Amino acid sequence: MKIKIAENTGFCMGVRKAVLDIVNVINKSSETIYVLGPLIHNPQTVSILQSRGIITINSINDIENKIIAIRTHGIPKESLRILKQNASKIINLTCPRVARVQGIVKKYSREGYFAIIIGDDHHAEVESVKSYADDGVIVISSVEDIKKIPNGLKYIVVAQTTFDECLFDEITGILKRKYHNILIFNTICDSTHKRQSDVINAIKEGIDTLVVVGGKNSANTQRLAQIGKNSNIKTFHIESEEELHDEDFKNSNYVLVTAGASTPGWIINNVLEKLYAISNKHENPLLYFIMRFFEIAIRLNLISSLASFFMSLLIEKIAGIWSLYKLPSLSAFFIFIMYAVNNYFLKDTLKIANPFKYKLHKNNHFIILASTIAAIFISFIITFTIQNYVYLLVYYVILLTGMIYSSSYFKFLINKYSPSLIKTIYSIKSIPANIGWIIITLFLPVLYAFQFINFNEIHIGIILSLIVFLSYLIISRNLLLDFIGFNGDLIIGNITLPIIVGLSRAKYLFYTSSFVAMVSLLYLSIFHNMKFILFTANIIFNHFLVLKIINLKYFISLKYEMLTDLNFIIFIVICVLIII
């Protein structure tokens, strides 16, 4: 089954701007923000924003001294006048394209033109545009409605920005022939035109199945689905991947995925992932089994734990010590425990941002719980055999802190009693993860090794260079995952480095860290062992992977999570070659 993503899909310019603006306000203000009507026609996004404190209201009553946001569709001018008189602050999120239509109707109505709006009567956008027609207005949505237009006037014609392009052309063609004193403005948004063209062209290419992702009450999404139905194409209009079922695609060979203007990228990514899973299950059971195996290994952080084991083992090898795998095992168990416990605390967020990972944890809850308890118990036994009390103190402090890191109680303590710097570090989810990982996996083995190292045989610069390179592997891996989850994190409110500094700056930070890691490898190769030059494969792999992720608009999250952890597998293989 071939799966194609439409070139023009997801957030349009107006929706993207509105969502970014409202998210920025939420992040910077603790005040309650009210939106007059749903901000956009996507229930998942609206629900997430409501969970972050946005309140949707449907009446302009009782708005005095409140912060009011105007939805992307705009509001009638009388409502706007009342808002200006009573609201403490207005955040105007009206789409610029809609505002342009309002302006056209306002201008020509003042010149005595009768307004004809081609669109869906009672749609929020149409209601807002109608209010600017001071010299008469009618809303039509079909050729049959033309007969309702009063004769003997001069006319201005505009369209709902998400109206069907072909139907608009048909209606305006008749209007031109019937009325001579008429001005026609095609105000259908370019985004709408391109989306509809994508579907029409794909039908000509030979797709047999169309999947349209977006709110069931979204006009532009409904029209995309209608194009498929009118062409006798098997069409699914869905709001999330949960509405897709294996049996629906048994006879599908070529599937186009498109989405409405209010559909966020993370939902599109989830739909793509579900479709590829269905495709593999039908056509390549072996590949499906392999993908499932790696999904479990990656999303339960088994590969990360194994990589952590080899990082500590490599430290031991360079330092010339042997702990009978005790320190590497503690590192591996630490990583597994941390992610298992924190994923449990973050299950509500996970359900939205990564539903596949959420289901994996939910369906295997007892196995994960038993494995976590076993890992804690074994770690406890191993620590009894380590006669280094500083190591033990640091290990247990980091372990206990990490286990309660995402709990609501710990969040409360941090937000209430911590200085602003600690709050900032805590809020950026990858920073504490990187710190804990680096301390347990790298610094504690070095601390343990100090009592055994013969500095006449090994230079301290060798160990520091190794720590720099291994730290790069940890930090770059988490930064890549931040790039992958960027769209969902932005709306949900997860604060990551790419969200704070922007994708471009985060990318340059990534390249800078790659350069530093390369220098450390050269040092290790020249002054210790030329085999370390093999690790440049990790840096080169990361370089091409980040270029790919940054330049992709939509992608299958699991695929790129696999590629991210594939770099750990490459690292493990090279470690084995060096250690042997």
State the distance between the two ends of the chain, measured CA to CA, in whole angstroms.
Answer: 44
What is the distance between the alpha carbons of residues 317 and 403, in angstroms, rounded to a whole number?
29
* Residue 527 Cα to chain centre, angstroms: 43
What is the distance between the alpha carbons of residues 11 and 172, in angstroms, rounded to a whole number?
28
**Which 3 state secondary structure label does DSSP give 512?**
helix
What is the distance between the alpha carbons of residues 568 and 578, in angstroms, rounded to a whole number?
15
Pairing of strands 137-140, 114-118: parallel
* 102: its two tokens: 């309002």
* 541: its two tokens: 């792999």
What is the distance between the alpha carbons of residues 550 and 196, in angstroms, rounded to a whole number?
26
| Cβ neighbour number for residue 202 with a 10 Å cutoff | 23
Q: Nearest to residue 130, comparing CAs of 192, 73, 51?
A: 73
* Sign of torsion over alpha carbons 424, 428, 433, 434: negative
Q: Which helix (H) or strand (E) holds 35?
A: strand 33-36
Q: Nearest to residue 79, comparing CAs of 95, 60, 92, 94?
A: 60
Q: Could you confirm whether 295 is annotated as catalytic?
A: no
Q: Nearest to residue 551, comparing CAs of 505, 495, 504?
A: 504
Residues 6+ apart with CB under 8 A from 63: 34, 57, 82, 83, 86, 87
Of these residues, 7, 64, 111, 125, which one is catalytic?
125
What is the distance between the alpha carbons of residues 210 and 200, in angstroms, rounded to a whole number?
11
**Which 3 state secondary structure label does DSSP give 254?**
strand
Taking the CA atoms of the chain, what radius of gyration do you get in angstroms?
A: 29
Contact 457, 478 (CB under 8 A): no
What is the distance between the alpha carbons of residues 377 and 371, in angstroms, rounded to a whole number?
10
Q: Nearest to residue 38, comparing CAs of 26, 53, 50?
A: 50
> Catalytic residue positions?
125
